[in-house]
Amino acid sequence: MKKFIFVTGGVVSSLGKGIASSSIGTLLESHGYRITILKFDPYLNVDPGTMNPFQHGEVFVTDDGAETDLDLGHYERFTNAHITRKNNATSGQIYNAVLTREREGGYLGKTVQVVPHITDEIKNRILAVSRNVDIVITEIGGTVGDIESLPFLEAARQMQIQKEKDTLHIHLTLIPYIKAADELKTKPTQHSVGRLREIGIQPEILLCRTEKPLSDEIKEKIALFCNVKKGAVIEALDTDIIYEIPLIFSRQNLDNIILGYLGLKARRNNDLKKWKDIVYTLRNPKKDIVIGVAGKYVKLHDSYKSIYEALVHGGIANNVRVIYKKIDTEFVEREGMDKIAGDISGIIMPGGFGTRGIEGMIKVIKYARERKMPFLGICLGMQCACVEFARNVCGLKDAASTECNAGTSNPVICFLPRQRDVTLMGGTMRLGAYSCSLKKGTIAYSSYKKSVVCERHRHRYEFNNRYRNLFEKKGIVFSGIYKNEDLVEIIELKNHPFFVATQFHPEFRSKPFSPHPLFSAFIRSSLKHSLR
């Protein structure tokens, strides 16, 4: 019998439902259960692919080419779940599917309504991902009380009626600490659970986000006013290491509480030793190392979420703590690198779109190239590396990407042929996993230790093969190629300890227990640089 867990959030947004859901998945997997995690986003955009990173944060890309919410990155990093486009749905997708079906005559003239047609579509999406797993964890985005999330909560209420013994509701809420009164306040949680109960959902478990431990008295009060058992009031205590959260939950017996509510028995004893080892390494590193993250979206931390996590993983592989220093490339454009480069041992340049901050990126790359500082460029970072090399080494002073300068006489980065007639913005880039053949004797090959790899993409522009011979003569090595279309995937610089740039996004495949090879190699080279 399939089991269904719904995770909702209350009081305020950004409490960490994605990490909480992922941690619950970790605990259930540790007991031998196959899980998957589904995220519902209440906004009307069809997907986050066209949304501003400053509003939405990172767009995470799956193997099958879906542009999804960043929480799906947490799902992959914390669990063994196979995440696809079916694991993320927005209100836009749900309504679009129902209205398309209506236009095609699928409802045979019936009046199409939120209940039952929208809620049925939501429930069908939940059931669709349940086929090869034991437990589906469904995270409902937004905050209880938001009008946008009501259809999803109604669908969850219906699921509880239809599958009463197989459904569990977990509510993540906030217990604010009032410093002036030196008190933790439970009233916001009481109100949040009250709103849920008005909708018809009684949560069985409360995860209480708090910066201070909860006393027995507070737990008893929460249990009484929210109609839950005291043992099901769980501290979601603040921590600086997200990989400690499964351990925090396990210490409070959350995994066994969940199994008990769902009528399940542990298939094996949970072994969280590898999580303990990770936390120990992060708390007791041999050395700290500072990595510059040079990008145009650094003002919002979530814009480069997978980048930051992959850097942490690369640090774990080398037993060092990575401290990232955010470098706003617009600032570099105005002021140069000298004011901010003092303690940096390596530079990573993530992806992005548009012309803003590009000249600052090129200055950062020139700095790393000339000073032989380890550099890892990703997507736009790779394209800017090609522009910088063309201008400052090859002598092509007007070299540019056609995204930034459509009239340049040296378009070293240009549209894919298939992109020239594209009119729609959303979902039309080169997306998802493609193979990459590696050249022996290169940094890429020595990092991966294999000839062919598969990595995820999200871009419209490619290196212009017209310039390959010139680049090779001047010292660029094309170490990774997508052979089916002869597209450049990885470039390296000769006579440089680590200057690697990729067209794909390696950060999407990195996990704490299997750090991405390029990130591990980059941190290793940066560590050597710091010891010079």
Tens digit of each residue's pLDDT (9 = 90 or more) over 124-172 = 999 999 999 999 999 999 999 999 999 999 999 999 999 989 999 999 9
Look up residue 399 and give its two tokens: 């070299």
Based on the domain organization, do 248 and 301 belong to the same domain? no
Q: How confident is the model at residue 260 (pLDDT cuts 50, 70, 90)?
A: very high
Mean pLDDT of 277-291: 95
Active-site residue among 74, 507, 516, 529?
A: 507
Q: Which of 277, 303, 328 is the last residue of a domain?
A: 277
User: Which pLDDT belongs to residue 293?
Assistant: 96
What is the per-residue burial (b if ≥16 Cβ within 10 Å, else e) of 353-372? beeebbbbbbbbbbbbbeee
Q: How confident is the model at residue 361 (pLDDT cuts 50, 70, 90)?
A: very high
Mean pLDDT of 375-392: 97
Q: How confident is the model at residue 54 (pLDDT cuts 50, 70, 90)?
A: confident
CATH number of the domain that residue 230 is part of: 3.40.50.300
CA-based angle 294:426:83, to the nearest 5?
75
User: Which pLDDT belongs to residue 48?
Assistant: 87
| 498: in domain | yes
User: Which pLDDT belongs to residue 421?
Assistant: 62
CATH number of the domain that residue 367 is part of: 3.40.50.880
User: Which pLDDT belongs to residue 423?
Assistant: 56
Torsion, Cα 117 119 124 125, to 10 degrees, reads 120
Based on the domain organization, do 53 and 137 belong to the same domain? yes
**What angle do helix axes 305-318 and 273-283 make, rounded to 10 degrees?**
90
Q: Which of 232, 253, 277 is the last residue of a domain?
A: 277
Q: Is the CA virtual torsion 492, 498, 501, 504 positive or negative?
A: positive
Name the DSSP letter for residue 511: B
Q: Report the candidate in 135, 213, 216, 215 with the shortest Cα–Cα distance to residue 168.
A: 135
Based on the domain organization, do 145 and 21 belong to the same domain? yes
Q: Answer whether residue 428 shows pLDDT above 80.
A: no
Based on the domain organization, do 270 and 361 belong to the same domain? no
For the residues of 302-365, what is the DSSP string, one character each? GGGHHHHHHHHHHHHHHTEEEEEEEEEHHHHHHH-STTT-TT-SEEEE----SSTTHHHHHHHH
Based on the domain organization, do 219 and 324 belong to the same domain? no
| 446: in domain | yes
Q: Quote the CA–CA distance of 138 and 263 in Å, as a whole number.
A: 19
Torsion, Cα 503 509 511 514, to 10 degrees, reads -90
| 282: in domain | no
Based on the domain organization, do 248 and 327 belong to the same domain? no
Q: Which of 215, 243, 277 is the last residue of a domain?
A: 277
Cis status, amide bond into 188, omega within 30 of 0? no
Based on the domain organization, do 182 and 44 belong to the same domain? yes
Between 261 and 354, residue with greater pLDDT = 261
Mean pLDDT of 74-99: 96
User: Which pLDDT belongs to residue 149?
Assistant: 95
User: Which pLDDT belongs to residue 237?
Assistant: 93
Range of the structural domain that residue 314 is part of:
290-530
Q: Answer whether residue 376 shows pLDDT above 70.
A: yes
| 283: in domain | no
How does the average pLDDT of the chain come out, rounded?
A: 94
Based on the domain organization, do 45 and 129 belong to the same domain? yes
Q: Is the CA virtual torsion 504, 510, 514, 517 positive or negative?
A: positive
| 358: in domain | yes
Based on the domain organization, do 261 and 355 belong to the same domain? no
* Residues across the chain: 532
60 DSSP β-pair partners: 68
Based on the domain organization, do 422 and 480 belong to the same domain? yes
User: Which pLDDT belongs to residue 420?
Assistant: 62
Active-site residue among 76, 121, 139, 379?
A: 379
- Tell me the C-alpha to C-alpha distance, in Å, between residue 456 and each of 98, 504, 506: 30, 6, 7
Based on the domain organization, do 257 and 400 belong to the same domain? no
Based on the domain organization, do 272 and 310 belong to the same domain? no
Mean pLDDT of 287-294: 96
User: Which pLDDT belongs to residue 484?
Assistant: 94
Active site residue 507: yes
Look up residue 28 and give its two tokens: 């259930």
- Tell me the C-alpha to C-alpha distance, in Å, between residue 197 and each of 49, 96, 151, 261, 262: 34, 29, 15, 19, 20
Pair 510, 310: CB distance under 8 Å:
yes
Q: Quote the CA–CA distance of 72 and 64 in Å, as a whole number.
A: 13
| 295: in domain | yes
Active-site residue among 31, 74, 496, 505?
A: 505
Q: Tell me whether residue 494 is exposed, middle or buried, using C-beta atoms within 10 angstroms of its C-beta: 0 to 12, 13 to 18, 19 or more.
A: exposed
**Structural domains counted in the chain:** 2
| 454: in domain | yes
User: Which pLDDT belongs to residue 155?
Assistant: 98
Pair 518, 374: CB distance under 8 Å:
no
Name the DSSP letter for residue 117: I
Q: How confident is the model at residue 406 (pLDDT cuts 50, 70, 90)?
A: confident
| 430: in domain | yes
Q: Answer whether residue 3 shows pLDDT above 80.
A: yes
User: Which pLDDT belongs to residue 422?
Assistant: 63
Active site residue 139: no
